[in-house]
Amino acid sequence: MVFEQLTGNLFQGLVLGAVYGMATMGLSLIFGVLKVVNVGHGAFVMVGAFITFWLFSALGVNPIFAIPVAFVIGLGLGLFFYYTVIQRLIKAPELATLLATFSIGVLLQEVVKLIFGSEFRGYNWTVGKIDLGLTVLPVSKLLASLGSVGIAVLLYIWFNRTRAGSAMRSVVEDSEGARVCGVNVGAAYAWSFALGIGLTVTSGVLLTMFIPVGINPYMGGGYTLKAFVIAVLGGLSSPYGAFFGGLVFGLIENGSYTLFALLPGVEPFALTRFLSFLILLIILLIRPTGLLTRK
Amino acid sequence: MKNQVTKYYPMLPVLAAYAALFLIGRNMSGMWQLVAMLLFYCALGQAFNIFLGMTGYVDFGYVAFMGVGTYGMALAISRLAHIEGLGAGIIVIGFVLAVLMSTMLSIAVGAVALRLRGAYFAIATIGVNEGFRFLIEGARIWNGSEGIIFTAQLNQILGREAASALATFWADLFVLIIAVAAALVTLIYMRSKIGYALTALREDEDAAKVMGINVTKFKIIAFITSASFAGLVGASSWALKTPYVFPPEVFEIHYTIEAIIIVLLGGAGTLLGPLVGGLIYGISKYYLSIFIPGFQLLIFAPIIIVIIVVFPEGVVGMLKAKTRNTAAGRFIV
Amino acid sequence: MTLLQLDNVTKRFGGLVAVDHVSLEIDAGQFVGIVGPNGSGKTTLFNLISGVFFPEEGRIYFEGADITRMPPYKRAPLGIGRTFQIPRPFSSATVRENIAVGAMFGTLGKKLTVDDSMDVADQLIEKLDLTAHREKAAGTLTPVEKKLMEIGRALAMKPKLLLMDEAMAGMHPSDIDQMVAFTRQIAEEENISIVAMVEHIMRAVIGMAEKVIVLHQGAKLVDAPTQEALKDPKVVEVYLGGSGGR
């Protein structure tokens, strides 16, 4: 019984993990290229969630179509914040970008709170359920998960098969070398930041499929923490590492929740959140460059 | 000897400002509530500045130290109330426990995080407040998510009247004392080798190391000092003013955000900065709450972004640069 | 008396061997020039001596004690000071404070109060002719002034060994002569061994160095008294390009 429940939950964890992974790729991309830690990450996830909510409840737009809208808005936000803030801080002490991205996150929260208020919101997109043997899964969750994998694959192709993508990769590996080879490093920075934010906002769309009534201006904080756990699992500067980190994290989260629920006298939900923090500290202690990376 | 005295001249404007705040609060009717809030923000800024300002490292989980400090006071009062004859001494025990608990947490966090540089340090701290909150709730430590309510115990020990005076006056006075003490410690550090070591490591950690500076040691000193003051602020401004503690409230990242705003606004790493930042932020928040309650961060988030980009030295930092080598400069640090 | 000894020291970065089985000895009070083109492993060698990196192989001794894996902040109080290729001032602090930091944590660090350190700084500022800049923030200095200040900061440590990384690069020839005279005077007065690292065989350094060590691709090519080293065919090969070069 417990075993069946565990395998079912682990499978669900894998489904959610793909979305988590996709939701962290933007964070890793930005760190990899610009060496900027986007401490406001979760707020961009939140923006994606509100775009989905608003499109669905005000205009009746299918959440699937919210994906391109969120991506384009994310690109726009990314370019805007890059040129107004980040670009001016590239050479400043690290503290400056940490505090700036943090403040950008706060700003987004407050703007969304001004527009939508601070109560929890949700929307109801029912497309049925599907029995996968191990567990019964709402089709919406399955679509979000498959969508995440699809986006990760598209990103892989874009990185490896296009000129812009390989320019960006060369900046990750050696920004001075790339400059010498004629890559416009400034543009690569701007578009990497924009792409990273675009991916993050898009992930907010997909995440709403898992949180029926959890859309709130302050929902991002939890995702920032999760994203950091995932990013250090997979290596902070590798978007693919982040994707696999997400899968691992999904498994850990659902697996530990199932096991904690068996313990008497504890609150499994809170303990699971504590565990993710503990994992973050342990990885940072033993291998800050990430567990899934080669040396 | 005279030199030793002039070194501490910058304490004069600090003391004058806090004395003025106190007098305004006591003598102008209806002002104490505002003064109490300003004292809280100034104390929070003074405490946070010792770490953020002096080391250039940012601890996004800083509120956790205020949280455990609040628990220290709450535990002392709720668990020791039955002991006869403690009287007001229980408050002293509470403060001691608050310092001990925040120090212990800072050692635990620092042992992991302070080995890490820059961004990785920030990542390690970002979940400390949430992590600790969920540990308390998840493992049902100290009543878990139900928190601790100790109004009855406080009334029983001190009597209803004294307990009320504690909440409306003495707690705020303690905050004032904590703020002054934090400022004094900041200045003592600045004038000692600790301050020079911290400046060196903030500007260039690798160069500081080969200059013979044990950077980890000095970071830990600043971290623990800053954390224990945060514990004291929590214990008096939260536990004594409102005799209950709930995990989601005392580990709320909102207070870390406010601390960052205050320190940056006033000038990170300066003595007067947190005072100036605390006053500007507190007064703005107070009056903004009349027109647009709850939206002060909507105003301050863009202001802070502008400060980071355009004048990272903050208000006092700019004043300091302007008054360098003048008579006034001796007081502005 | 041998002050510093490196015994078969190797440092690798990934597959790249930055310092390749280097052994050398530097005597107390000796002036040594380390010469080598960019990428020859000079800076890595300095980083190994000052403790920024630890070597994979070999041992490092200072005054006979093994310091191979000693953290950098413990080496400075023993008497190892250094300057950097590109000056690294503590920008927001004044020139005086920068130099005083050297005194505070150097060999006399434990005995000096903050005020004593400021006195040490004032003396050096005068010697280095930086009096006009005493209260300026170090970040606002010109590159040459920063270099001077950094040398002052290192000297304030009262080191026994001073590692100077391209200390005179970018300076005007007349400034170099002045700098050389000053460094030499201090070194003699205080019996400091100076290891000056330069990319090219500079007249100024050669004029002072008792010994020249030439590094090439991480390995020691030549280690000989200056006049001998200059005539060594291997040095001529590396520096004059051998056959068919320029």
Q: What is the 3-state secondary structure (H, E, C) of B53-91?
A: HHHCCCCCCCHHHHHHHHHHHHHHHHHHCCCCCCCCHHH
Contact call for residues B178 and B225 (beta carbons, < 8 A): no
The continuous run of DSSP H or E covering B144 comes out as: none
Answer whether B311's CB lies under 8 Å from B271's CB.
no
Of C158, C188, C211, the one marking the end of a domain is C158
Q: What is the pLDDT of residue C35?
A: 86
Report yes or no: A158 and A25 within 8 Å, Cβ to Cβ: no
**For residue C235, is pLDDT > 80?**
no
Q: Which residues lie closer than 8 Å to A1 by C-beta, 6 or more apart?
A: none
Decide if C47 is inside a domain.
yes
Which pLDDT tens digit goes with each residue over A70-92?
Answer: 999 999 999 999 999 999 999 88
User: Residue C98: left (phi > 0), alpha (psi -120 to 50), or beta?
Assistant: alpha
Q: Is A162 left (phi over 0), alpha (psi -120 to 50) or beta?
A: beta
Beta strands in chain B (DSSP E): 148-149, 244-245
Q: Which residues of A touch B120 (CB under 8 A)?
A: 284, 288
- pLDDT of C132 > 50? The answer is yes
Pairwise CA distance, residues C195 & C210, whole Å: 10
Answer yes or no: are the C-beta atoms of C162 and C155 closer than 8 Å.
Answer: yes
**pLDDT reading at A287 higher than 80:** no
Taking each helix axis as running N to C, give the angle between helix A185-207 and helix A139-161, from 0 to 180 degrees, rounded to the nearest 10: 170
pLDDT at position B119: 84
Contacts of B113 in chain A (CB under 8 A): 281, 284
Determine the residue type at C156: A
pLDDT band at C204 (very low <50, low <70, confident <90, very high): low
Output the average pLDDT for chain A. 90
Residue whose C-alpha is closest to residue A82's, from A139, A141, A36: A36
- Note whether C1 and C102 are same-domain residues: no
Task: Name residue C13's beta-bridge partners.
Answer: C16
C72 close to B (CB below 8 A):
yes
* Same domain as C172, residue C139: no
Q: Residues near A147 by Cβ (< 8 Å), separated by ≥ 6?
A: A64, A67, A206
DSSP H helices, A35-138, are 41-59, 63-81, 87-89, 94-116
Distance of CA B221 to the CA centre of its chain: 15
Q: B210 vs C90: CB contact, 8 Å cut-off?
A: no
Say if CB B99 and CB B291 are below 8 A apart: no
DSSP state of A266: S
Could you tell me if C70 and C10 lie in one domain?
Answer: yes
Cβ-based interface (< 8 Å): residues of B facing A: 56-58, 60, 112-113, 115-116, 118-120, 122-124, 126-128, 130-131, 133-135, 137-140, 144-145, 253, 257, 260, 264, 295, 297-298, 301-302, 304-305, 308-309, 312
Pick the closest to residue A44 from A195, A240, A238 (CA basis).
Answer: A195
Compute the nearest-CA separation of B148 from chain C (Å): 46
CA-CA-CA-CA torsion sign (B20, B23, B28, B31): positive
Does A294 score more than 60 pLDDT? no
Instruction: With residue C140 as reference, give the H or E element that holds it.
Output: none
Expressed as residue numbers, the domain containing C35 is 1-79+160-246
For residue C102 the two structure tokens come to 């050297």
What pLDDT, on a 0 to 100 scale, did the predictor assign at position B292?
81
Interface test with A, best of B55, B57, B117, B305 (most A CBs within 10 A): B305
**Range C148-154 average pLDDT:** 92
Amino acid in the structure at residue B260: I
pLDDT beyond 80 at C122: yes
Q: Which of C183, C96, B301 is nearest to A102 (CA)?
A: B301
Q: Please report residues of B whose CB lies closer than 8 A to that of A106.
A: 257, 297, 301
Give the SS3 label for residue C13.
strand
Domain boundaries, chain A: 2-286
By mean pLDDT, which of A204-208, B220-224, B324-328 is the weakest? B324-328
For chain B, domain boundaries: 9-330
The predicted-structure confidence for A152-168, as pLDDT tens digits, reads as follows 999 999 888 888 888 88
Is the CB of B193 less than 8 angstroms away from the CB of C105?
yes
Task: Check if A117 contacts B (Cβ < 8 Å).
Answer: no
- Quick check: A93 and B312 in contact, CB under 8 A? no
Helix (H) / strand (E) element for C213: namely strand C211-216
Is residue C244 very low, low, confident or very high in pLDDT (cuts 50, 70, 90)?
Answer: very low
pLDDT of residue A291: 63
> In this prediction, what percent of chain B has a pLDDT beyond 90?
80
Three-class DSSP category at B268: coil
Read off the pLDDT of each residue in B152-174 and give the average, rounded to a whole number: 93
Restricting to B residues 158-197, those with a Cβ less than 8 Å away from any Cβ of C are 191-193, 196-197
Instruction: Determine the 3-state secondary structure of C28 from DSSP.
Output: coil
- Position B159, amino acid: G
d(CA C230, CA B19): 73
Give the CA dihedral B10, B12, B13, B14, nearest 10 degrees. Answer: 90
DSSP B167: I
C214 has a chain B CB within 8 A of its CB: no
C29 within 8 A of C194, measured Cβ to Cβ: no
In chain C, the number of structural domains is 2
Residue whose pair of structure tokens reads 């150097």 in the numeric block: C106
**Which of A65-74, A128-137, B248-257, C73-82 has the lowest average pLDDT?**
A128-137
Amino acid sitting at position B298: L
Of the candidates C50, C14, C49, C20, the one whose C-alpha atom is nearest the C-alpha of residue C36 is C20
Task: Please determine, for residue A128, whether its predicted confidence score (pLDDT) is greater than 50.
Answer: yes
Judge whether B44 and B178 are in contact, CB under 8 Å: no
d(CA C68, CA C62): 9
Instruction: Quick: pLDDT tens for A171-181.
Output: 877 777 788 78
One-letter amino acid identity for B155? N
> What Å distances lie between residue B307 and B258, B278, B313, CA to CA?
15, 15, 8
Query: C223 and C144 in one domain?
Result: no
Q: How many CB atoms lie within 10 A of CB B316?
A: 23
The architecture that CATH gives domain A2-286 is: Orthogonal Bundle (1.10)
Q: Which residue of B has its CA nearest to C107?
A: B212
Comparing A246-250, B70-74, C232-236, the range with the smallest average pLDDT is C232-236
Average pLDDT on A142-147 reads: 92
User: Considering only CA atoms, which of A200, A284, A281 is closest in space to residue A246?
Assistant: A200
Residue B125 has pLDDT above 60, yes or no: yes
| In a domain? residue C18 | yes
Query: Between B193, B202, B211, which is nearest C76 by CB?
Result: B211
Indicate whether C164 and C241 sit together in one domain. yes
CA geometry: angle at A126 spanning A120 and A128, to 5°? 140
Checking if the pLDDT of A187 tops 90, the result is no
Name the pLDDT band for C245 (thresholds 50, 70, 90): very low
Topology annotation, domain B9-330: ABC transporter involved in vitamin B12 uptake, BtuC (1.10.3470)
Span C160-199, pLDDT tens digits = 999 988 766 677 777 777 777 788 888 888 889 989 887 7
Predicted confidence (pLDDT) at residue B128 exceeds the cutoff of 70: yes
Sort out which chain A residues have CB atoms less than 8 A from B116's CB and list them: 284, 288
Assess whether pLDDT exceeds 50 at residue C242: no
Closest CB from C82, C97, C135 relative to B210: C82
**A157, HSE (Cβ side, Cα atoms, 13 Å):** 6
Buried b (16+ CB within 10 A) or exposed e, B142-180: bbbeebbebeebbbebbeeeebeebbeebbbebbbebbb
pLDDT of residue A186: 85
pLDDT band of residue A105 (cuts 50, 70, 90) is: very high
B264: nearest Cα among B254, B252, B274: B274
Q: How far apart are CA B172 and CA B177, in angstroms?
A: 9
Tokens representing B127?
């979940």
B8 to chain C: which residues are within 8 Å by CB?
Answer: none
Query: What does the pLDDT read at residue B229?
Result: 98
pLDDT the model gives residue B127? 86
pLDDT more than 90, % of chain C: 51
Cα A187–chain centre separation = 23
pLDDT for position A295: 42
Task: Using pLDDT thresholds of 50, 70 and 90, give the confidence band for residue B148.
Answer: very high
- Among the three residues C158, C177, C209, which one is the final residue of a domain in this structure? C158
For residue B2, the model assigns a pLDDT of 55
CA distance B97 to chain A (A): 24
Neighbour tally for A209: CB within 10 Å: 23
Handedness of CA C33, C36, C38, C42 (dihedral sign): negative
Residue C84 located in a structural domain: no
Looking at residue C181, its pLDDT comes to: 77
**Are C52 and C129 in a shared domain?**
no
Q: What is the pLDDT of residue C199?
A: 72
Rounded to the nearest integer, the mean pLDDT of chain C is: 87
Q: How many CB atoms lie within 10 A of CB B11?
A: 18
pLDDT at C243 over 50: no
On whether the CB atoms of residues A27 and A38 are closer than 8 A, the answer is: yes
- What is the DSSP pairing of strand C31-35 with strand C57-62? unpaired
Residue C11 domain flag: yes
| DSSP secondary structure letter of residue C197 | E
Mean pLDDT within B61-73:
97
User: Does the distance separating the beta carbons of B197 and C77 come in below 8 Å?
Assistant: no
Asked if C91's CB is within 8 angstroms of B211's CB, the reply is: no
Single out the residue of C65, C69, C89 nearest to residue C79, CA to CA: C65
Looking up tokens 């899934």 gives: A292
Q: Is B27 on the interface with C (CB under 8 A)?
A: no
More confident residue, A10 or C197: A10
